[in-house]
Amino acid sequence: MKELLTGNLPNSFLIGGREYHICSDFRAMLRLEEIFSSEELTDEEKAERALKLFYGCVPEPLEEAVERLCYFWSCGRQEKEGRAKGEGAAQPPIYSFTHDAGLIYGAFLTQYGIDLSRKSLHWWQFMALFHSLPQGCQIKRRMEIRGIGSQELSKMKDAKQRREIRRLQRLYALEDSEYEDED
C-alpha cells in the first residue's frame, strides 16, 4: 500500500479499455458493505447496486469490473495464492461498521482529531487509520475480546478470567454472533 505514502491513491480504473472514475470515499464503501449484508436483495441486485455505487454504472466486462472493485475494497492487497495449512478459514467478524459506528467515530475524533461526519477520506486512508488505532481504545478492546476463540479460552487456566471474557463476548457480540457458555 505504498500509494498511501506517494499520494497515488486510485480514483479510477481502466476496464475494457475505458477509464471509469470511482467513488473512493469511505462512506461509499460503508454503504457497499450494507448492500452486501442485505438479506432483502438477491445476489444479482447486490452486484448491480454495488457496481453502480462504485462506478456510477455497470461497466463491461463485468468480471474485470468486479475484480477491480474487490482490489479496491481490499486496499490493494492481492489474495495470497499459497496459504499455510489452516489459514483462510472463515473467522467470525470482530467489528461491524454499522454496529460499532459510534465507537469508530469516537476513536477517530479522539485519536486523530478527525470528525468522520464532516471529513472526506479515501477508503484506503480510512482503513489505514482504522487498523492503526491504538490497542487502548474501546473499539480495539472490543475487537480483541470478540476475536478470542473457544480454543484460546479453553487454554486459560483462570476460570474467573474465562467467565469474564465470555461475559464480555456476550455483551459486545455482533448481531449474529453466538458465544458458547462452557463454564
Per the CB < 8 A criterion, the answer to whether 38 and 50 are in contact is no
Report the pLDDT value the prediction gives residue 176, as an integer from 0 to 100: 60
Which of 38-42, 94-98, 111-115: highest mean pLDDT? 111-115
Which residues partner with 18 through β-bridges?
15
Distance from C-alpha of 21 to C-alpha of 56, rounded to nearest angstrom: 8
With a cut of 70, say whether residue 78 has pLDDT above it: no
- pLDDT class of 182 with cuts at 50, 70, 90: very low
With a cut of 50, say whether residue 130 has pLDDT above it: yes
With a cut of 70, say whether residue 150 has pLDDT above it: yes
Per the CB < 8 A criterion, the answer to whether 51 and 59 are in contact is yes
- pLDDT class of 92 with cuts at 50, 70, 90: confident
Residue-averaged pLDDT of the chain: 87
| pLDDT tens string 28-61 | 999 999 999 889 999 999 999 999 999 999 999 9
Whole-structure pTM value: 0.83
Per the CB < 8 A criterion, the answer to whether 15 and 61 are in contact is yes
With a cut of 70, say whether residue 22 has pLDDT above it: yes
Q: Is 84 left (phi over 0), alpha (psi -120 to 50) or beta?
A: beta
Distance from C-alpha of 100 to C-alpha of 97, rounded to nearest angstrom: 5
